[in-house]
Structure 1
Amino acid sequence: MSTETPSETTFTGPRRVFQRLNEKSLRDDLVFYFAIVAVASVLFMALPLLTGKEPEIDGLHRLWFIAAGTLITFVQGLIAGAVTLLAVSLVEHFFLLFVDVHREFEQTMKSAVYALAPLILFSWAVLLQVPFAGLLLLAWFCLSTYFGVWIFHEKSKDRAVFVALATSLVLAYYLHRAVGI
């Protein structure tokens, strides 16, 4: 029996991962993104319950409060996730215009989906005040944006760096309190 790992399952780096993601349709990417947003929304509702900061409501009222709060947080999360995705995609595409983009907005949205997904999923770490969590998430966003622009838009590395840094700076400006800058 061979102990070698098949080359199909071997992790070969971010470039190969983004090349495989480029083969997927935008619909699949959006389903993935909104699943992440839905999980994060429910997690944000459960966060006060898990940290012991839940309101002092007893009995059946507590059950209704949790159910209504979860539904409201879920809907708000989906709306905020859609607005965030559109806003970040527009900012990224704006900076892509400086480097003469010839790709469609669909590729920009794919790039934003994979840059924002970990940011949204792990944003609870910022709320729990984990040291340097905001900066790490911002760095991850910048790196994901770089690979997204490089692979999805087929731009040179220096142009991808420009777009990733510019988009990350705009995001950092709007989230500077949460990031800790």
Structure 2
Amino acid sequence: MSTGTIITGLRHRFRQLNEKPLRDDLIFYFAIIAVASVLFMALPLLTGEAAETDGMHRAWFIVAGTLIVLVQGLITGAVALLAVSLVEHFFLLFVDVHREFEKTMKSAVYALAPLILFSRAVLLGVSFAGLLLLAWFCLSTYFGVWIFHEKSKDRAVFVALATDAILAFYLHRWTVGPWLAL
């Protein structure tokens, strides 16, 4: 599969997503968060790393823990979506955007979804996972700005790189932190 085919496919997919209402995108985003939260709670249980309890205490521990992690994930996901959308929209102001905030939030949904779903790989210490997720975030932001906001490629690159730089600054412990320890 060539790079041109991948870019053409992504551009086509983002154009299809642009026609959907924001409500559908938010449902998708919060479904991703719910799945990631439940997996985050279930993985220690499946690998045997969970606290040693038995009987009804274990069942209540699983139910309560899953609900707490789910609510915490939904709240954190909503705050992250709003924060990234605001940062991206701030940089869009530099390129003279007159579109509504809805398009920016739509772009942030599709840029953040893989980060949330595959963040466990970073926590497990998979090599280069943080950098790969950051690169995917940058590419998704580029396509979101280019397609959703109908900006030129150079302006989309500026917004994507600036937003990615801010995210990399805040997530530096997970992206470049493991190499600083070497």
TM-score by length of 1: 0.92
Q: Whole-Å Cα distance in 2 between the matches of residues 147 and 94 of structure 1?
A: 17
Following superposition of structure 1 onto structure 2, how do residues 81-120 of structure 1 map, counting pairs within 5 Å?
81-120=77-116
SS of match in other structure, 2:65: helix
* 2:134 equivalent among 130, 138, 142: 138
User: Which protein has the bigger helix share?
Assistant: 2
Q: Are 1:157 and 2:144 counterparts?
A: no
Give the C-alpha shift of residue 56 in structure 1.
1.3
* 1:52 equivalent among 32, 38, 48: 48
Give the C-alpha shift of residue 12 in structure 1.
4.9
Q: Whole-Å Cα distance in 2 between the matches of residues 106 and 160 of structure 1?
A: 17
**Which consecutive unaligned segments of at least 5 residues does structure 1 have?**
1-10
TM-score by length of 2: 0.91
Across the aligned residues of Structure 1 and Structure 2, the Cα RMSD in angstroms comes to 1.2
Aligned length: 171
Q: Are 1:23 and 2:29 counterparts?
A: no
Give the C-alpha shift of residue 52 in structure 1.
2.5
For each residue in 1:150-174, what CA deviation from the matched residue of structure 2 results, as whole angstroms up to 9, or x when unmatched? 0000000000000000001111111
Give the counterpart letter for 1:24 in structure 2: K
Instruction: Write out the 4+ residue segments of structure 1 that deviate beyond 4 Å after TM superposition.
Output: none
Residue identity (%):
81
Q: Whole-Å Cα distance in 1 between the matches of residues 46 and 162 of structure 2?
A: 37
Q: Are 1:166 and 2:162 counterparts?
A: yes
**Which consecutive unaligned segments of at least 5 residues does structure 2 have?**
1-6, 178-182
Cα distance change of structure 1 residues 51 and 180 upon mapping to structure 2, 3 Å threshold? farther
SS of match in other structure, 1:13: helix
